[in-house]
Structure 1
Amino acid sequence: MSSIWTGVSGLLSYSQGIATTGNNLANVNTVGFKSARMLFADTMSAMAGGTSDGSQIGTGVQVGSTAMQTSVGSLNESSNATDMAIDGEHGYFVVKDTANDKTYCTRAGDFNFDKGGDLLTSTGLNVQGWAVDNDAILAAKRSNTILSQVPTTGDVTDIKITDFTIDPQATGTIEVVTNLDSQVTTGTLDSTDPYFTMFKSYDANSDTPVADSDYSATVKIYDSEGTGHTATVYYSKTNDESGKEYWEYMVTVPPSEDGSDVTGDTTKAGVLMIGTMTFSAQGVMENQTAFTPGGTDPTSLSSWTQASLTSSGVPEFSATFMSASNGTSLSAQSVAFKTGLSTTGGSWSATSAATAADIGTSTAANAGYDSSATSNAVSCTTNYATSSYTQATSQDGYAAGEMTATNVDEDGVLWGTFTNGQSKALYVVALASFVNPTDLRRDGNNLLSATTESGKATVARANTGVLDGISGSTLESSNVDMASEMVNLIVNQRAFQANSKVVTTAEDMMAKALEIKK
């Protein structure tokens, strides 16, 4: 009798082995599918009768374990921008079934946005991630802070885009980096205020308000409604003394677009900031002054007081534009003006001129920063003996736009691209890791869930800790090796046949024994 049960155990075990192999082969084209490997173990042996040495006789075979194989399937490019694949064994996408409020993980990254803006799996589950903190990104950009990763806000949540537009952003920083030709000769200067000759001759009522600059550079800036305005920075050489050069500069916008209640409707309409730049004999910018209108008479230099400084040590001015929609004045916006030079002290020198009028004819009064607390950026305004030219301009404002595309980077950041040329980080995709992922429970529809054996999920970002990166516009195929599975199928089939022979042989033996009894 025991031989029959031994054969039956083989039939039962190898039939399960064939089922496992068949399931692997059935899912050879399933996105992100992980094959299973079945291991067999013997059953408890029985003591052999009639022996005194402890000999045992085996009683058959049983299924020892069925473990999920976590090796990575081949990664294939996809035309769908929201398709994703984890570029390594470590990591699983986190998805949620909102119907039963249950969270699963999966390796299948065939995601799509529905009409409501939810990023869903092919079976309708919500992909999880963190919302991006774009305010923190903007603040870091304006303070010259380098972020190690895209900042997020709040807990893990459904990735959902509710607004496929991007609101306009008023310019908060402009950067104009130039080279000012040191070979330029100084023109006729104002006898009282030689360092502000260009400003004093500025006339907003003239067709050409600035008629005596040596160079100018332009950059477009945006107001709170997203309307673009052309800002022009004018430069004029004022002095060459003891090997150092001094230049006057002036930041302006078209007079008709100036809605300030201080400079608007005056001969200085459109002037936002004035100041001076000091260059060493080697053409390196080493100091700067900056003044903005603060009194009641913008035509008087005494009304132009020291500009406030940002936390990164650069001057800023206030711009008030006229609304393009109704012609009224918009709210004032602060704009930092970067030339490449900043003060690490974060404040003006204690001996610097409090107003533009205080500079007068004094060369030494052009030292706005403490000379021991200045810093030159890699890209900084210079004063070399070559034709004046603009090295770089930039600003951080933009008009409103509509989303045209999305993409995912290797860190799992979901970006939106808009018609105004901007790219905006929207969400960071969440990934889960497990201590023992081979024992995750398969719940169907490419879903996996944690078990006691697998351990709880640890949720984090791609490319952090043990987690691998994410490939966008890519899908991971099944990791089933058809050649190996076909070999397993043949082996299990032969084993099944052999065990069936054991059963029939044992049956014949029992029939013969019954015949002897008769």
Structure 2
Amino acid sequence: MSITGAMQTAISGLNGQSTAIGYISDNVANASTTGYKRVESRFQTLITQSSAQSNTHSPGGVLNNAFFANNIQGSITQVPGATTSVAISGNGFIPVSKANGVDATTGLPTFETTSYYTRVGDFNQNNDGYLVNSSGYYLQAWPVDPATGVIDTSHTEQVRVSNLLDAPVATNLVNYSANLPSNVQDASGNLPATLPASSIQIFDSLGNAQDVDLIWTRLGSNQWSLQVNVPGSTPSSFGPAVVDFGGAVGGSTVTPGTLSGLTSAGGLTASAAGAVDDDASFSFNLDFGSGAQAITLDLGSYGNTSGTTQYAGDTLTLNDFKQDGVPQGTFKSLAIGSDGAVSVTFDNGNVKTFYQIPIAKFNDPTELDRVNGNAFVATPNSGAAVLVQSGASGAGDFVSSAVEESNVDIADEFSKLIVAQRAYSANAKIMTTADELLQDTLNIIR
């Protein structure tokens, strides 16, 4: 039995080493495949009978069990300009889906119900607006309300960006911060003295740019008037309203040169000066032909030097003059951020997030089943996918404009190949030796 047992053991050795060479060839072939995870050989002894106590052992053999190195990080390579490519540094996978047909009504793809996962993050936008990787898998993510930024984590959906226009936003707030010169006088050296207008563009509800002019007039020591002219509006002029500096607010003396009081007049409604640091602003209503548009002109706060002030000088010094409206925008670019946010930049300067890519975690990622296209599916041994945000609960972090390379080390594979080749040859030699021994046994009877 020992000779035939040796032959059987050698056969299992040949099978195991040939399988190992197959794994190595697969790894080497995919050394340049984005996101590929290598397969390793794990040899296990097969025992038929073995006892140290009775000093017996029968040849058994060997079994080559595949070990899937799905949890081993590959190197990350930056891809400049590839704003929709993303890699994972650390644990986890990107959820994706696979198309299985086309909807006859919409002309858009339909998708399998099976959930797939991958580390291949070289996504590009196709002609339907979907983000698809080089293996043909569609990116899945949580939808995000672009207006509020709220993430809906109750489900994932295919990432499709078809919002090519960004609606205009009417101006509601104008921030104004300047120093009014306390020494200014008119050409005759008298008061009142009117300064050149401060002008800014705001936007109406249709996205049209409209001019707003602020005209300041020094009335006397620590007192000014403000008139607001808006040529495109009905009415087109507001004020003049009185603006006071220094003195007291709510029983407290304010710093000289800071706002202490606003007086409503001519359609300009002043905020109350109840206490130091209360908001100091005028509100008024414009109408550019598409309905009333409420505007708040924020001058800073009472008794605070960070807003509008009155200090020495002969000319107005403008520190800040901006508004919160935007015109209509058109699609400019699409990008995946380092936090997994899928955002669109419009040419009006708005950046809106439409999706948040989660990371799929598994109890044992080495037990995932592999499918074509360098993707994986969950198994009972791997556990179900748990979707979390990047960096949370042990999940990895996204790296934007990057891809993860194969985790195959060519030098290591070649060293394994040498060992497998020698081991195969040695097992083959055992086969020929056992054959010769059997032949000698048969020749005994001659």
| Superposition TM-score, scaled by structure 1 size | 0.72
Contact 1:253 1:272 survives alignment (8 Å): no
Partner of 1:37: 40
Which deviations, in whole Å up to 9, do the C-alpha atoms of 1:218-264 show, x marking residues without a partner?
A: 22110111000122223333453xxxx3443344312xx113xxxx3
CA distance in 1, matches of 2:168, 2:126: 26
Instruction: Map 1:75-90; keep pairs closer than 5 Å.
Output: 75-86=77-88, 88-90=89-91
Partner of 1:258: 233
Gaps of 5+ in 1: 137-149, 190-196, 198-211, 299-303, 323-328, 342-368
CA distance in 2, matches of 1:404, 1:43: 63
CA distance in 1, matches of 2:317, 2:23: 72
Instruction: Map 1:239-258; keep pairs closer than 5 Å.
Output: 239-240=220-221, 245-254=222-231, 257-258=232-233
Partner of 1:321: 287
Give the letter for the 2:33 counterpart.
Answer: T
Q: Could you tell which deviates more after superposition, 430-439 or 460-469?
A: 460-469
Q: Structure 1 residue aligned with 2:200, among 205, 216, 219?
A: 219
Q: Please state if 1:285 is matched with 2:287.
A: no
Which deviations, in whole Å up to 9, do the C-alpha atoms of 1:267-301 show, x marking residues without a partner?
A: xx3328945253477556354536476xxxx6xxx
Partner of 1:336: 296
CA distance in 2, matches of 1:174, 1:436: 55
| Partner SS for 1:407 | strand
CA distance in 2, matches of 1:273, 1:510: 118
Q: 1:509 to 1:419 in 2, by over 3 A?
A: same
Partner of 1:357: none
Q: Please state if 1:494 is matched with 2:422.
A: yes
Partner of 1:405: 333
Q: 1:52 to 1:423 in 2, by over 3 A?
A: closer
Q: 1:11 to 1:153 in 2, by over 3 A?
A: same
Give the letter for the 1:169 counterpart.
Answer: V
Deviation for aligned residue 1:27: 0.7
Give the letter for the 1:102 counterpart.
Answer: T
Q: 1:14 to 1:456 in 2, by over 3 A?
A: same
Q: Please state if 1:152 is matched with 2:133.
A: no
| Partner SS for 1:5 | helix
| Partner SS for 1:333 | strand
Q: Structure 2 residue aligned with 1:442, among 356, 366, 370?
A: 370
Partner of 2:76: 74
Partner of 1:431: 359
CA distance in 2, matches of 1:120, 1:232: 50
Partner of 1:122: 134
Q: Please state if 1:10 is matched with 2:9.
A: no
Contact 2:5 2:58 survives alignment (8 Å): no
Give the letter for the 1:289 counterpart.
Answer: L
Deviation for aligned residue 1:52: 5.7
Deviation for aligned residue 1:58: 4.9
| Partner SS for 1:484 | helix
CA distance in 2, matches of 1:158, 1:279: 60
Contact 2:141 2:156 survives alignment (8 Å): yes
Give the letter for the 2:41 counterpart.
Answer: M
Aligned residues: 417
| Partner SS for 1:134 | coil
Gaps of 5+ in 2: 99-109, 248-253
Deviation for aligned residue 1:65: 4.4
Contact 1:234 1:249 survives alignment (8 Å): yes
Which deviations, in whole Å up to 9, do the C-alpha atoms of 1:106-140 show, x marking residues without a partner?
A: 1111111122211222243321123332322xxxx
CA distance in 2, matches of 1:215, 1:279: 24
Deviation for aligned residue 1:162: 2.1
Q: Please state if 1:27 is matched with 2:2.
A: no
| Partner SS for 2:140 | strand
Please tell me the root mean square deviation across aligned C-alpha atoms, in Å. Answer: 3.1
| Partner SS for 1:135 | coil
| Partner SS for 1:494 | helix
Q: Please state if 1:385 is matched with 2:351.
A: no
Give the letter for the 1:271 counterpart.
Answer: F
Contact 1:166 1:401 survives alignment (8 Å): yes
Q: 1:9 to 1:253 in 2, by over 3 A?
A: same
CA distance in 1, matches of 2:296, 2:15: 77
Q: Please state if 1:61 is matched with 2:62.
A: yes
Q: 1:275 to 1:430 in 2, by over 3 A?
A: farther
Deviation for aligned residue 1:428: 2.1
Give the letter for the 2:165 counterpart.
Answer: T
Partner of 2:238: 271
CA distance in 2, matches of 1:478, 1:253: 62
Specify which structure has the higher proportion of strand: 2
Partner of 2:49: 46
Instruction: Map 1:107-146; keep pairs closer than 5 Å.
Output: 107-136=119-148
CA distance in 2, matches of 1:273, 1:495: 97
| Partner SS for 2:181 | coil
